Every structure is written in structure tokens, then in C-alpha cells.
Amino acid sequence: MTSGPAFTGASPGFAEVRAGSLGVRLAANAAEIDASQALRYRVFYDEMGAHPDADAAASRRDRDRYDAVADHLLVLDHALGEGTEQVIGTYRLIRKPAASHLGRFYTADEFDIAPILQNGGEVLELGRSCVDIAYRKSSVMQLLWRGIAAYVNVHAIDLMFGCASLPGTDPDVLATELTYLYTNHLAPPELRPRAVADRYIAMNRVDPASFEARRALAKLPPLIKGYLRLGGFVGDGAVIDAQFNTIDVAVVVKTDLVTEKYLRHYERGLRDVKSEG
């Protein structure tokens, strides 16, 4: 059985950034982490058809051992009250010092991430991203990215990486999307993760001339398109995640464009928060 959340303390220097009734910040206590896990369960299991184990089904929480060492980025709607019902979006953030407590990153279950870890800079694993169905609009994702940019700035992160999912478990159904990613956005060799050998699914599945790149891009999930807009790359090979009913690709993003685009918003929001204090 997976244990419940064990809050490890929010990272320093991260003030909430507000946009109307919405705000983005790190979870401040175990109850807020629990609320993020409840949101993840509703999205991943109730909505997207993931297969819960006995603990997840009984608790109605998506949680694993990585939650205890992670920071949990939250989008809150303050119009919903003062409690944990405010949590309407989340992202799980794991840095190298946190992952060292468990001996590995979550992504390493599916991909060989040695090229990323050997890069020499500070790295951040992104995962478990979801937004409540009533709030799926660009403004909420932009807030999440503003929060990530602030976190990247605080911790001087050089590279971000993680697993990104496409719905379904048949690679031939997703052949166009996988081929598009492999053909147009493959990471350079020095940063390229590779699917672990016993789970490797080839991504280059059809002739790229058989489809329009623009149409293939449009078919990708919004989160993957967001990574690509920030100059992100994908690794070599995909992995079937039967539990979550997805096919996963590894994504790598250099932080330069993220901080350049969003840090100005964060710094302005931080000044506003301080002036209100």
C-alpha cells in the first residue's frame, strides 16, 4: 500500500502570483497535497480511464512514493472559498536533491535519462499535470507555466524533463503523431533520453510525406504542444503505460525560453503580493 502524503516543506522565495480570482503557488501543507492527489484521481482515473489499484480506488487519490519528496505546484480559485476545494490545477515538481532520497526520478521507470543527468546543470522533473475539467482554458495553463518559471528562477534550473502522454495504448493509432514528433522534434544526442529496452516502442512509424505536419501537430495533446512551443524536444522511443491508458514520450525543455517569457510576469506579481502585505 502506498503511504499518504508526507509534506517536506515548500521551497523558499516563492510567493503566490494572482490573476483575478486565480492564483498559482506551491502547496503549503499536507491537506493541499492531498487535494492535488484527489484532483489527479478525478482527472486520470474517473475521466481518462486509468486503472486504479486497491489503494487508489479506496482512497480516491492518485499518489505514489514520489509525492513525498516533490514540490506540488497548485492553481487555486479563491472564489471557491478558503479551503482545499480551491485546488483546480496541479503540477508535480521534483529536483535532483529530492530524487536522490529515492535513488531515481519517476521518468527513469520508462526512459534512460542519463544524458540529462550528465548534462552538469540543475534539472527539474515535471509530472502529474492536470486541470479540473471546468477550468481547461489557456489562462490556467499560462498560470501553471508562470509558476514553473518562478520555480525555475528560484532554483536556477537549466533543464526540465518528464513523461508526456498521448491518449490510448495502440501506437499504430497514434502513428502520425509519434512520427511527427520523432521527425521534427527529436532531442539532440547529448540530451536525448531513450525508452528503456524492454518497453521501447518505435516512434518513426510511417512515411513523414504521408501526412501534413501542421495537421499532425494539431492532433497532439495541449500539454505536448505547450512543451513544443517552448522549444522542447522528445526522446527516442515511446512507452505504453497500461495503468494510465496512455503512450508516453520523454520531453526535454531548456529553461531559457520559459524564464524569458514568464519571469517578467512572475516578478511583477511578486511585487504586487509584497505591496499588499
pLDDT at site 72: 97
User: CATH code for 17-276?
Assistant: 3.40.630.30
What per-residue confidence (pLDDT) applies to 142? Answer: 86
Q: Where does the pLDDT of residue 276 fall: very low under 50, low under 70, confident under 90, or very high at 90 and above?
A: very low
Please, which pLDDT band fits residue 266 given cuts at 50, 70 and 90? very low
The partner residues of 208 in beta bridges, in order of sequence, read none
Model confidence at 261, in pLDDT bands (50, 70, 90)?
A: low
Residues ≥6 apart with Cβ < 8 Å to 180: 208, 211, 213, 216, 217, 220
Closest CA to 193 of 144, 252, 267, 146: 252
- Tell me what the mean pLDDT of segment 75-79 comes to: 96
Mean pLDDT value across residues 73-94: 94
How do the domains of the chain map onto residue ranges? 17-276
Give this prediction's pTM.
Answer: 0.88
Query: Is-contact 248 235, C-beta < 8 A?
Result: no
Name the nearest CA neighbour of 153 among 277, 12, 271, 32. 12
**For residue 264, what pLDDT band results from cuts at 50, 70 and 90?**
low
pLDDT for res 194: 98
Residue 143: name the closest of 232, 243, 265 by CA. 265
Q: Is 1 helix (H, G, I), strand (E, B) or coil?
A: coil
- The per-residue pLDDT of the chain, averaged, comes to 89
